[in-house]
Amino acid sequence: MTASTGARPARCEDGRMADSTDTGHGADALLRARRTRVTVVGGGVAGLVAALEWAKIGAHVTVCEAGGRLGGALETADLDGIPIDLVADAFSLSAPALDGLIDDLRLRDRVEEATPLPVVLAGAPGRASGIVPLPEQTVLGIPANPWADDVRRVIGWSGAWRAYLDRLRPPLTIGHERSLGRLVRQRMGDRVADRLVAPVTRGLYGVGPDEVDVEAAAPGLSTALTRTGSLAGAVFDLLPPEGHASARRATLRGGFGALATALAERLLDLGADLRVGHPVTSIAPGPDGTWTVRAAPVDGAMDAEATAAPDGEPFPDPAARPAADSGAADLTLDADVVIVATGAAAATALLSGLGVEVSAHPAPVRDVVDLVVGASALAAGARAVYPVAAGGETAARAPLATNPPAALSVTFPSAEWPWLGAAAGPERQVMRVTLAADATHSDAATIDAAVAAASALLGTPLGSPRAAARRTIVLEPPASVIGHDDRVAALRGAVAARPGLAIVGAWVSGGGVAQVVADAVAETDRVRSAVLWGPPADPDDADPTAAR
């Protein structure tokens, strides 16, 4: 369809299309919205946000989630009587799309800022305790002053001398070196790259510095390098002015999973059909530019009609309702719009059936283990511990079976989030340990490995946890990985050639929840605009003010 040049209709404060017939274009768009059938494949954050963007203008929306719950990485569970986010637990307060969603879902009063705590590095060579703070004046671990005491503690005198040569080398041409790791090694040497930068990029992004695009991860760094003549000078230029805080982190009191719950509740209020346990097996072009989506329910599949518990009371969390043994039949849906909101593997399988070639960056698999243990002094002084691997070898390549097992990071949610610290009390703390995943290990074996790994990294025996949970996740690469933008642009170009089809999700947006939300809103708006502002429909075909 070709886009109309007419004025867009007004929207209500809640985002719904206004029931206005001031212009023919507005009435026509309203009619199209109420006729549009949208199927969203995947019930994670991206899928739920895309579904909401359609449902709030009156479209008929169906969400098919392969698993037994909605929300994806947003999952809050009870461990030892404490509501704990098992995977994702934070977002940036400088993210407009997510900020608007939080207001729209009336969650503003639950937003809580993080306690400002440092990141520390463990395993630093030559240090008696093995644990040192990450130097303060750094960008992605690159120091502004290699002679600073907190930098020399990590890289040593020889590392500081090598890093100082950065000021004697000629500056690079803008954009000459895309790889962050290679740039740092060329300018400041291996010790800065391996002991400072690598722990940060692996802790933040799950990838080594050689895979990180300089400009995507640190916008302006290359330009500042050319202007100042050194990498250290460029870092100093990019540091926030004294007295100005860097990007602030926040969560939702009671658990970040509340965002998924609120999304599901709003979708149900708007009449959306939410189905879990319905993996989509195929997407095929239908007649007249429509789509046919087929799903094969697994045992325990359920849909939006099963909203009441056995006693007749509503389930408190529609994003995590217990599955009902419905014995549902195969599902076939006719749709005008299909939004693929799955992970990379499932999306690749579905898109390949449409002749769309997917070139995805390899995504590592991680075991994330949340532990409730006895309190320790370290939790009060740091929000995260990243390992420094000896000899430039990355801890991420060490298998789970190593002795001791390798922790890729240890974080302390109950130290960072005041509400969670209060819930845990003075005698308990919540820790999150990330390991390279091993599918051959049971949950119990992986939890034992996580305890051993954290004990080894922190240099303190943890003992048996009071409670624990394991989640295995695919760590989708961030947008800062080299080549990410080019791959996504090529893929979305191929998808856009098929009207009514869109892809969203962390593997295309990169980044955390805030970036996923922003990308889902933007991509949905692209498809929605094409549908709503096509050629005028026959005004006698339906009453544009009629209810759905």
Q: Give 371-417 pLDDT, tens digit per residue.
A: 999 887 665 688 899 998 754 444 434 443 455 568 899 999 999 99
What's the confidence (pLDDT) of residue 127? 55
Architecture per CATH, domain 36-72+256-360+480-532, reads as: 3-Layer(bba) Sandwich (3.50)
Is it the case that residue 19 has pLDDT exceeding 60? no
In 10 A of CB 273, how many CB atoms?
18
> 154 by DSSP, 3-state: which?
helix
Is it the case that residue 305 has pLDDT exceeding 50? no
pLDDT band, residue 490 (cuts 50/70/90): very high
pLDDT band, residue 476 (cuts 50/70/90): confident
What's the confidence (pLDDT) of residue 26? 61
The class level of CATH for 132-238 reads: mainly alpha
What's the confidence (pLDDT) of residue 318? 52
What's the confidence (pLDDT) of residue 364? 84
pLDDT, greater one: 27 or 187: 187
Portions of the chain given CATH number 1.10.3110.10? 132-238
pLDDT, greater one: 181 or 130: 181
Q: Give 451-462 pLDDT, tens digit per residue.
A: 999 998 888 888
Is it the case that residue 272 has pLDDT exceeding 90? yes
Q: Give 412-433 pLDDT, tens digit per residue.
A: 999 999 999 999 999 999 999 9
What rounded mean pLDDT belongs to the chain? 82
Percent of the chain with pLDDT over 90: 54
Of 20-29, 41-50, 421-430, 492-501, the poorest mean pLDDT is in: 20-29
Question: Cα–Cα distances in Å, from 177 out to 2, 182, 394?
Answer: 41, 7, 22
Contact 469, 444 (CB under 8 A): no
What's the confidence (pLDDT) of residue 312? 36
Portions of the chain given CATH number 3.50.50.60? 36-72+256-360+480-532
Cα 458 from Cα 455, distance rounded (Å)? 5
Query: Quick one: three-class SS letters along 66-90?
Result: CCCCCCCCCCEEEECCEEEECCCCC
Of 87-101, 350-364, 385-399, the poorest mean pLDDT is in: 385-399
